[in-house]
Amino acid sequence: MAILKILHFPDSRLYTKAKQVKQIDSKIQNVITDMFETMYAAPGIGLAATQVNIHQQIVVIDVSENKNQPICLINPNITSADGQQSTEEGCLSVPDIFEQVKRAENITVQAINKDGEQIVLTTDGILSVCIQHEIDHLNGKLFVDRLSSLKRQRIKQKLIKQQRNK
């Protein structure tokens, strides 16, 4: 088990579109374990493989208060979405930035779990937001890309300045 390095905006690798996982083998299982460990240590409620420079369609999530309800989605695909909600979002790849983002309120997602089984989740609330946010990462998109270009540019400048001052 290892804590992986999380890429930070505006790193261009965050815009890489992830490839489908062809086979769930021990290497993929290890990636999933490391991603959960990284997410919990950060601490966060979701992490996409793209954020740790692994460009495969793997997402780990745990929105529970006690961090005891881990969800792994491999090759996730949203099959239905309706309603709209606006929620303040943050991101491990965009540290210390929180902005209102509009997303679907209710979603159904199909995926493969860590055991290789097909699953279907229908959800709303924070889990719905988190799944949509993480799938955006797999598609090479960040939550700041859903903001105005002016807001995005300000955030980019702030983070670049913070990185220089470290």
What local confidence, expressed as pLDDT, does residue 71 receive? 98
**114 token code pair:** 């860590």
Q: What is the mean pLDDT of residues 92-117?
A: 96
Tokens 């199909």 label which residue? 110
Q: What is the pLDDT of residues 155-165, one digit of tens each?
A: 999 988 888 88
CB distance 57 to 94 below 8 Å: no
**141 token code pair:** 């998109």
Which is catalytic among the residues 37, 88, 89, 134?
A: 134
Q: What is the pLDDT of residues 22-34, one digit of tens each?
A: 999 999 999 999 9
**Catalytic status, residue 134:** yes
**What value does the mean pLDDT of the chain take?**
96
Nearest-angstrom CA–CA distance, 148 and 151: 5
Specify the CATH superfamily of domain 12-164. Peptide deformylase (3.90.45.10)
Q: What is the reported pTM?
A: 0.95
Alpha helices in 42-148 (DSSP H): 125-138
